[in-house]
Chains A and B, each alone.
Chain A
């Protein structure tokens, strides 16, 4: 899961960055509205955590411009503005959730998970595909009644595929969701991860669609 974290306060940004990475997210950072706007316009994010009081372009404006441009990724506003007036304005500008500072990091992560899940049309925190279950809250993967140990990258890849069962996902798309912008990308690694997943989850419908990408076939 790739997250854009927009926060101008360096301390808070650093801590959130660490926390989000620990929670298994791939995190891109922006400390002003202009960069945030550009990143959101050009990179595919699974979710955005957006501060409102930003230098250069205000967070609310950034959000409005994204929505006007048709960017539909879930956005969580994280701000000190706790008046209901501000919350209504934020939601009406197109935010999907609104969390006020100070906050419990756990709450932020829980809400972020829910946000991403709902964005993919899943009401439950538990993703299912035949005999495979993935708990987005605990990060636990169970297959045929057994807990399966996955690396962070394998987990991210599997979660992404499970959020869109049956859909064909291109290699580029998967890469973009796996890595932050600054990391050197190599789409060949996707093949490596897919091979490992197939080994760890034998019999799962992880298909290669020649020339287009991969898909998780729904159970028969």
Chain B
């Protein structure tokens, strides 16, 4: 069995199946009760008719029964095959003689009574067939004339059951129609209930989408008592996640500090060595390599600690402006003209501002380092359907040779063989960008140097 696609259909199907079964059962039960009731009524009427015929039964001088038909009020007695009959069979004393007397409605036919022995006063009910082959209900009793010895007669009254059956069929039709309408109404009510009942789930779904699309950091708002614990737990997980991120960043920073100061001391010692010392250059080179290793792994640790944090967004302009202020100072010796072009409707970055700062900072630093006099930064949107954030950083420096462009951002590029003109930082940047779900593209700039294009997820 395949899993039902939606909770709503599941609830609705269960409700409808239950309702349907209950209504069908109710229909049968009601029909049976009604039939019982109508049948009893019918029998009671027949017994009344039997009593009437019995009341007007008389015996002549020979002891033969006689019925004063003028005093039987029901006109059907007189109409042939009218569906209401009476008949008197002689049972005793001689051999039985059927139909000694009968109603005019029997015309030339007679009722065939099943063999039966009745004690005095008993009324028995039988099913039988009438002159037209119609189904009949027959009631009979045995009568004897007082003082006429053993002479006994079976007095039977029969009526066609067809009118009763017709009434029952009519009732069944009405009953079925009523129950069907009831089912439809209840179904609609169930549907409304499910829709209203599941509305908080919709709200929850929207909240989760907001979190996923970085519009919110937590699930906002109050939910029904059944959902609130789930929402609270989820928020706790989100909070915990954010806390773990913050903690791992702090730890990464601490590790950096712990390693870098000793490295700086070693570099100082090596640099202070007298000229011509054979160890000093080697030590300095190794310190450099160690520095790169620390940076490389720190960058990775920060990223895996960070990653795409749900619910974060940050404006790109202020981040770039802050970095440009740093560039103006750090590369202040090299009068580089740095300009920021912010396109209309440039989106926000869907993520942590520090991650964006790391990526753009390294690219800007690289551009400023190699630029002859110009660095251009532009913030905009990609043209494709994904409509992502695009930051382009270009310079008029020497650039990277076409054949080396690929290698500058290659995964697992060896730290001691950086591509000339790029620095090993580009490999870190490339990996960071990929981690954040973006792409780093390097190409030749119209300015002459390197053109780095970063596409990153945009906040909706």
The answer for the CA separation of A35 and B323 in the assembled complex, in Å, is: 31
Q: B residues touching A (Cβ–Cβ < 8 Å)?
A: 253, 256-257, 259-261, 263-269, 271-272, 284, 287, 290-291, 295, 298, 302, 322-323, 325-326, 329-330, 332-333, 335, 353-354, 357-358, 360-362
B residues in contact with A18, CB < 8 Å:
272
Given A15-B272, A91-B329 in contact, is the A101-B264 Cβ separation under 8 Å? Answer: yes
A58 within 8 A of B: no
| Contact of B357 with A53 in the complex, beta carbons under 8 Å | no
The answer for the CA separation of A102 and B289 in the assembled complex, in Å, is: 11
A6 within 8 A of B: no
The answer for the CA separation of A88 and B318 in the assembled complex, in Å, is: 11
Q: Which of B271, B295, B362 is in CB contact (< 8 Å) with A106?
A: B271
Q: Which of B257, B323, B332 is in CB contact (< 8 Å) with A84?
A: B323
| Contact of B267 with A104 in the complex, beta carbons under 8 Å | yes
Q: Which residue of chain B is the closest to A11 with respect to CB atoms?
A: B265
| Contact of A12 with B325 in the complex, beta carbons under 8 Å | no
- Interface residue tally for chain A (C-beta within 8 Å): 34
Q: A residues touching B (Cβ–Cβ < 8 Å)?
A: 9, 11-12, 15-16, 18-19, 53, 80-85, 87-88, 91-92, 95-98, 100-106, 111, 114-115, 118, 123
| Contact of B291 with A102 in the complex, beta carbons under 8 Å | yes
Given A80-B257, A101-B263 in contact, is the A91-B354 Cβ separation under 8 Å? Answer: no
| Contact of A83 with B354 in the complex, beta carbons under 8 Å | yes
| Contact of A101 with B357 in the complex, beta carbons under 8 Å | no
Main secondary structure of the interface of B (DSSP, over half): helix
Additional pairs, 14, CB under 8 Å, beyond known A88-B322, A88-B323, A98-B326: A12-B261, A80-B260, A82-B260, A82-B298, A84-B361, A85-B353, A91-B325, A92-B325, A96-B329, A97-B329, A101-B260, A102-B260, A105-B271, A105-B272
| Contact of B257 with A19 in the complex, beta carbons under 8 Å | no
| Contact of A88 with B326 in the complex, beta carbons under 8 Å | yes
Given A53-B257, A114-B332 in contact, is the A84-B357 Cβ separation under 8 Å? Answer: yes
B336 → chain A closest CB, angstroms: 13
| Contact of B354 with A85 in the complex, beta carbons under 8 Å | yes
B residues in contact with A111, CB < 8 Å:
333
Given A11-B265, A84-B357, A118-B332 in contact, is the A104-B256 Cβ separation under 8 Å? Answer: no
